[in-house]
Structure 1
Amino acid sequence: MVSSSPYSSLIDNEKFLYKLVIQLLIFSQGSHKLLEPHLLSIGTKLRNGANLQDLSHELQAVSKTLLHISKQTKQDVDEAESDTTALQDDYVMGRLDELLAEVEVPLRFHQQTSMLKQKLRANHSEKAYKKVIDSAITLLLNIKDYGVSEKKGIDVFLEDLTEQLDEIGQQAEMAGQANQLSIDNRDTLNTEIHRQVGNLKSSTQSAQELSILKTHTSEHLDRLLAQLLEHKQMEDDRQQEVQRKIDLMTQKLQDLETETESLRTRLKIEHDKALCDPLTGLPNRLAYNSRAEMELSRWKRYRAPLSLVIWDIDYFKRINDDYGHKAGDKTLALIGQLLLNNCRETDFAARYGGEEFVMLMPNTQEHQALEMAENIRKMIQNCGFNSNGEDINLTLSCGISEFKEDDQLDDVFVRADQALYQSKQHGRNQCTIYVE
C-alpha cells in the first residue's frame, strides 16, 4: 500500500478549495450589491486561469465585505425591532389616553387623571414608560374601587332608608292603636256614666228620706267624678305619648328628606360629570349616544329631517408634536367652545373622542347642514389661533350624512365618517356630504 505524500495532500486540498471558491461565486451572484464587484473580479481571474494564491487578495476583500454586510444586517434588524417596539409603545400609550378620555372619572380623580394624560403624551424612557403604565393601571383600579364603594354606600343608604321607613310604619301603627284604645276607653266611660246615672235614678226613686237621697247622690257623683278624672289622666298620658311618636316620625321624615335630597344632588352631580368632557366642557360620547338615541326615536316618529356631522381637527398630531400637548389641549378646548357657540339651540355638539367632534342637527337636510358646516369651518380657519404668540394654522374637516329610510345610528355614523375621510383625502379643510 502506497501512502500519499504531504505534497499530494496539499494539492488535493487546493483543488477542493478551488472548487469551493467557484461554487461560492456561483451561489453568491446577485445576493448583495456590495459583493458584486469582488465576485466579478474573481470570475474574470478564474476564467484567465488564476489559482488560489492569485485570488487571495479578492477573497480577503470578500471576507471583509461579508463581515460588513453581517454587521449592517444586524443593525438594520435592531433598528427595525426598535421601531416596532416604539410603535407598540405609542399604540399602548394612545389606547390608554383614549381609555382615560372615555372612562367616567369621579371628581376626586380629575387632577390625577389630567397629570397622567400629560405623562402619556410625553416621550418616555423604558423605565418611565413602565411607571406610566403602572400609574394608569393603578388609577383605573382606584376608579373601579371607588365606583364599587359608591355603590355599596348607596346600598347601605337604601337599607337604612328601608329600616327607618319600617320603623315609621310601626310608630304610625302604634299611634293608630293608641287612638283606637282612646276610642274604646271613651266608650267604656260612656257606658259607666250611663250605669251610674241609672243607679242614681233608681236610688232617687227608692229613697224615703231626703238625707238618704243626698247620701246616695253624693256617692254616685263622687264615683263619676273619680272616673272622669281617671279617664282624663289616661287620655292626657296617651295624647302625650301619641304626640311624642308623631314628633319622632316627623323628625325621621325630615332626616330622610334631607339625606335623600343630599343623595339626589350627589347623583345629579356625578351624572352630569359622567356626561361631560372635562377638557372642552362639551357633552362626551356617552351623552352623544343618549342624545342620538332620543333624536333617532323622534326622527322615526315625525320623519323630520335629521343630519349628522363629524368634525376632525386637521394635523392635530403635528400641533402636539410642534407646539406641545398644552397647545393641543388648548386647541381642543377652543374648538369645543367655537362649535358650541356657533350651532343653534336645537343642535347638539359633543366631543366624540381624541380630536373628533360630532354634531346632531334636527330639522336639517344635508345640504342645509353643509351650508352651516361651511360657515363654521371658515370661521375656525380665520379665528387667529396662536400658542405663546406663535400663529397656528388651525383648520377642520367634516363629513355629513342625513338619516335615511331604515337607518340605524351606526349606518349614519359610518356614512358621515366615510365623507370625512373623503374630505381628508381631497386636501383637508373642507366639508363633504356622503354620496353613494
Structure 2
Amino acid sequence: MATSTPYSAPVDNEKFLYKLVIQLLIFCQGSHRLLEPHLLAIGSKLRSGANLQDLLSELQAVSKTLLHISKQGKQNAETDGSDSAALQNNYAMERLEELLADAQVPLRFQHQTSMLKHRVRGNHSEQSYKKVIDSAITLLMNIKDYGVAEQKGIDVFLADLTARLDEIGQDVEIAGQANRLAIDNREMLNTEINRQVGDLRETTQSAQELSTLKIHTSEHLDRLLAQLLEHKQLEDERQQETQDKIELMTQKLQELETETETLRVKLKIEHDKALCDSLTGLPNRMAYNSRAEMELSRWKRYKTPLALIVWDVDYFKRINDTYGHKAGDKTLALVGHLLQSNCRDTDFVARYGGEEFVMLLPNTQECQALEMAENTRKMIQSCGFNSNGEDINLTISCGISEFKEGDTHDDTFVRADQALYQSKQNGRNCCTVFGQ
C-alpha cells in the first residue's frame, strides 16, 4: 500500500510570500521617503532570520503607508490638474490677445474688438473665461459673416456691372447699325438723284416742245425734292434716336464710373486698413512682408546696401503687469511714433507683433544702421512718460544685420533676431550688430 506524501501547499505558499516580500523590499527601495523607515526595518528583520509572522506588523505598516501615498497622489493630481487648467486658460488668453492684436478687423467691429481685448486682459474665473471665449468666437463668426456678405456684395456689383456693360455694348452696336444704315440710305439717295438727273437729261434732249420740257422737268424736280425731304426726315429721326442712345450710354457710363469709384475708394480704405496696425498707426506685419519683398528685389538688382533692424521694448510685460494694459498700449504707440519720426523717408518701419518692431534701411550699411539705432535708442531712453501719476522709464533694444550675397529675407532676419537676443543678454537698452 502506497504511502501518501503530506500536503505541502501552506509551506510552499509561505515560501512564495517570503520571496515576494524580499522582491518588494528590493523594488521599493528609494521609491518614496515615507516607505524608507518600514523598508529598513523589514530588511533588518530579514537579515536576522525573521519569518512572515515576525514581519506582519511591518507589512501592515507598509500597507497603511501605501494607502496614504495613494491618497496624497490623487490630491496632488487634482491640484496639478487644476493648475494645469489654469495654465492652459492663461495660455489661451495670451494667444487670443495676440490674435486680436494681429487680426485685420473691419471698421464696424473695432469697438467690439477693443472691448474684448480689455476683457481678455482681466483676471478670469472659470465662468468668466468661458464667457470671454464665447464672445471671441461670436466676434470672429460675425467678422467672417461680414466678410462673406461683403464678398457677395462685390460679386453682385460685378455681375451687375457686367450686365450693364453688355447693355451699353448692345446700345453701341445699335448706334453703329444706325450709322451704317444712314450711310446705305445716302448711297441710295445719291443713286436715285443720279438716276433722276439722267432721266431729266434724256427728257431734255428728246423734248420737242418747250411746254412738254417744262412739264417733265417739273415732275422730275418734284420727285427729287420729295425724295430729299423723305431722306432728310429719316435722317433727322435716326440722328435723334442715335443722340438719345448716346445720351443714355453716357448716363450709364457716368453712373458706372461713380459706383466703381465708390467701390474703389472703399476697397482702398479696407486695403490700407488691412496693412495698418490700429494701435500704433504703423504698417503691420503683412505690409512689412510686402515691402521686404520689394526691397529685397531692389537690393538684388542694384547691389546697394540694405540693413535690417529688429527692435524690442525692454521689460514690456513688466510695464503691463505693473501699470496696466492702457500703459502698455501707450508705450507701444509712443515707441511706434518715435521710431517713425526718427526714420528717413526712404526707410520703412512696421510693428511686427506684440512689442516687436522692424526697420528696413535701404542704401545703409551696418555701421550706419548702428549709428542711427543708437540715436533712436537714446532718444527713447530720455522720453519716459507718466501714467496715472507714475513715471514710467522706457528703454528699447535692437539687433542689426545687413543683407549679404545669397541671403534670403529669413537669413537676415534670423541674424538680426540673434543680435537682438545678444542685446537682451548684455543687459538690454543697447544695440548690437550681428557678429560684432
TM-score interval for Structure 1 and Structure 2 normalised by the shorter chain: 0.7 to 0.9
Counterpart position of 1:429: 429
Equivalent runs, 1:259-270 vs 2, <5 Å:
259-270=259-270
Counterpart position of 1:374: 374
Counterpart position of 2:205: 205
**Cα distance, 1:187 vs. partner?**
1.8
Moved more, 316-325 or 139-148: 139-148
- Return the alpha-carbon distance in structure 2 between the equivalents of residues 212 and 74 of structure 1: 136
**Cα distance, 1:36 vs. partner?**
6.3
Question: Residues 129 and 218 (structure 1 numbering): CA distance in 2 closer, same or farther, change over 3 Å?
Answer: same
**Cα distance, 1:194 vs. partner?**
2.3
Identity value in percent: 78
Counterpart position of 1:4: none
What SS does structure 2 have at the residue aligned with 1:278?
Answer: coil
**Cα distance, 1:290 vs. partner?**
0.6
Counterpart position of 2:126: 126
Counterpart position of 2:103: 103
Counterpart position of 1:287: 287
- Return the alpha-carbon distance in structure 1 between the equivalents of residues 45 and 91 of structure 2: 55
Moved more, 107-116 or 68-77: 68-77
Instruction: Tell me if 1:297 matches 2:333.
Output: no
**Cα distance, 1:102 vs. partner?**
2.6
**Cα distance, 1:409 vs. partner?**
0.5
Counterpart position of 1:13: none
**Cα distance, 1:425 vs. partner?**
2.1
Counterpart position of 2:180: 180
Equivalent runs, 1:87-98 vs 2, <5 Å:
87-98=87-98
Q: Cα deviations across residues 165-196 of structure 1 (Å, max 9, x unaligned)?
A: 22222222221221121122122222222222
- Return the alpha-carbon distance in structure 2 between the equivalents of residues 27 and 402 of structure 1: 61
Question: Residues 159 and 26 (structure 1 numbering): CA distance in 2 closer, same or farther, change over 3 Å?
Answer: closer
Counterpart position of 2:85: 85
Counterpart position of 1:8: none
Equivalent runs, 1:16-55 vs 2, <5 Å:
32-33=32-33
What SS does structure 1 have at the residue aligned with 2:360?
Answer: strand
Question: Residues 40 and 182 (structure 1 numbering): CA distance in 2 closer, same or farther, change over 3 Å?
Answer: closer
- Return the alpha-carbon distance in structure 1 between the equivalents of residues 29 and 195 of structure 2: 138
The residue type paired with residue 211 of structure 1 is S
Question: Residues 312 and 207 (structure 1 numbering): CA distance in 2 closer, same or farther, change over 3 Å?
Answer: same
- Return the alpha-carbon distance in structure 2 between the equivalents of residues 42 and 192 of structure 1: 138
- Return the alpha-carbon distance in structure 1 between the equivalents of residues 105 and 385 of structure 2: 30
Alignment gaps of 5+ in structure 2? 1-16, 49-54
What SS does structure 2 have at the residue aligned with 1:357?
Answer: strand
- Return the alpha-carbon distance in structure 2 between the equivalents of residues 44 and 196 of structure 1: 147
The residue type paired with residue 99 of structure 1 is L
- Return the alpha-carbon distance in structure 1 between the equivalents of residues 220 and 271 of structure 2: 74
Q: Cα deviations across residues 251-273 of structure 1 (Å, max 9, x unaligned)?
A: 11111211221121111111100
Equivalent runs, 1:2-401 vs 2, <5 Å:
32-33=32-33, 72-401=72-401
What SS does structure 2 have at the residue aligned with 1:205?
Answer: helix
- Return the alpha-carbon distance in structure 2 between the equivalents of residues 324 and 399 of structure 1: 28
The residue type paired with residue 153 of structure 1 is G
- Return the alpha-carbon distance in structure 2 between the equivalents of residues 38 and 351 of structure 1: 63
Q: Cα deviations across residues 356-398 of structure 1 (Å, max 9, x unaligned)?
A: 1111111221122122212212221221222111112322121
Q: Cα deviations across residues 73-129 of structure 1 (Å, max 9, x unaligned)?
A: 444333322222222222222222222233322222222222222222222121222
TM-score (norm 1): 0.85
- Return the alpha-carbon distance in structure 2 between the equivalents of residues 206 and 162 of structure 1: 65
- Return the alpha-carbon distance in structure 1 between the equivalents of residues 211 and 20 of structure 2: 162
TM-score (norm 2): 0.85
What is the aligned length? 425
Counterpart position of 2:4: none
**Cα distance, 1:292 vs. partner?**
0.6
What SS does structure 1 have at the residue aligned with 2:351?
Answer: strand
Counterpart position of 2:13: none
Question: Residues 75 and 243 (structure 1 numbering): CA distance in 2 closer, same or farther, change over 3 Å?
Answer: same
Moved more, 23-32 or 302-311: 23-32
Q: Cα deviations across residues 133-152 of structure 1 (Å, max 9, x unaligned)?
A: 22222322332333333233
The residue type paired with residue 215 of structure 1 is I
What SS does structure 1 have at the residue aligned with 2:201?
Answer: helix
**Cα distance, 1:406 vs. partner?**
0.5
Moved more, 76-85 or 379-388: 76-85
**Cα distance, 1:204 vs. partner?**
3.1
Question: Residues 20 and 224 (structure 1 numbering): CA distance in 2 closer, same or farther, change over 3 Å?
Answer: closer
What SS does structure 2 have at the residue aligned with 1:309?
Answer: strand
What SS does structure 2 have at the residue aligned with 1:83?
Answer: helix
The residue type paired with residue 323 of structure 1 is Y
- Return the alpha-carbon distance in structure 1 between the equivalents of residues 20 and 178 of structure 2: 119
What SS does structure 1 have at the residue aligned with 2:236?
Answer: helix
**Cα distance, 1:30 vs. partner?**
5.2
**Cα distance, 1:215 vs. partner?**
2.5
What SS does structure 2 have at the residue aligned with 1:401?
Answer: strand
What is the root-mean-square deviation of aligned Cα atoms in Å?
3.4
The residue type paired with residue 95 of structure 1 is R
What SS does structure 2 have at the residue aligned with 1:312?
Answer: strand
- Return the alpha-carbon distance in structure 1 between the equivalents of residues 94 and 274 of structure 2: 21
**Cα distance, 1:67 vs. partner?**
7.0
Alignment gaps of 5+ in structure 1? 1-16, 49-54
- Return the alpha-carbon distance in structure 2 between the equivalents of residues 381 and 75 of structure 1: 50
